Structure 1
């Protein structure tokens, strides 16, 4: 009967490749070099191939060695995924979940969704941080966060190791108070921005980066507008606009009630085309997610069924 592949041998082989040396690998793993060499030789015998070739003092992978290394990476990753998944299922609680989000979704939807989700899975442990989109991408990629729920930003490309799943559509409105002295100006153009001050987000935020892109698309340069006040929170910006201090770009979701009851009005975009504001779920680009992560992603998608 043919012997089975040894995961331990794959681990040692991968370590030699990563360190580029039997000597360094043996020191790192605190085993003898002859024992390490014997394990790699056994793997070569099992596969009936040569994995390394030596040129001077350097080790190089053969063609079959490169293929073996790629498979070793995948096999060992699956082993770790199996262990983690079984541990999750065997624990008394429902696991841990680290979520990253930015506004507006994090301000207007995420708390309510988490409350509902924890009502279903009472023993799950959830932590939430609010960051800009680029930071959340990096933290999901580096496994600091399990999942991100962020505003899709065309100025920040999605890293190749991540997957983005569309969650919901929204759009930007340029709003002003019904008490404002400039309420008679209805169209968005340079004259409007030269006449009416902007209330906007702080400069390091995703919100402000998106507003800058909208302004560029409208042909509005930096010299054409004045920022009267910068604030970090969407709700604070809305309150200041309601007081009549200026106009602001805000997501429709955040101002829909005030638009409906006449507290706020909006200027008309050219050709009545509101700039889109899409929200995506960001996860590791793996074939399968941990059960805890997958359950939350499924819950999010069920909370915002697609209509398009």
Structure 2
């Protein structure tokens, strides 16, 4: 069952999402060679609590960490470790928070040092596909329209679109209806309605779409060992159109990146 949010609830969810956005922006300055993902995890937990929120992942489904940090061939759900990041790595950091009784859930893939051109291209296309998908999130369209748009954009470049893991509705629970696959057929699936809030999160592999789970029971990796990239935004349908509640602006500011990719999906100017 899809749980529709009021405009007031959507504004509360925006606050929850921005806690995560600010956390990722803080981490952007710390993600570098020699740092461990366990160190990043501790920084994130402290930062979230300082903002008056609670880590959204910690304890959820017995998750032992605040962050899920997926390095190189890890797709998602990577548990933090004491292994230092090194030059040329990429790390997808997925983070959640709870504030005002609502979840925020948001992810960004970071580059460490001199990343291979092929991997940079994978990052670029995956990030583009997120906004291609968001553009389809409008009243009257369907889940399959979003999935088709993401799949078409990524497969045109020869990349693998993960099937086993999908985006989801978001609200007072981390995972609500509807599921939001990154693949699909136009005109299929549940119809979008005013007040829906979803997390759209392309998980795109540099080779095969096939994945496997490691023995830790959490980390999902590509079967062929090629890198994988993950980006995620929280989006509401407001006045029939997609309204991004989260933002990469804090990350971009920390990294010196200029971008206007979110502007068309934001009805109010974002004040950093």
For Structure 1 versus Structure 2, the TM-score category normalised by the shorter chain is under 0.3
Indicate the structure with greater helix content: 1
Normalised TM-score (structure 1): 0.23
Higher-Rg structure is 1
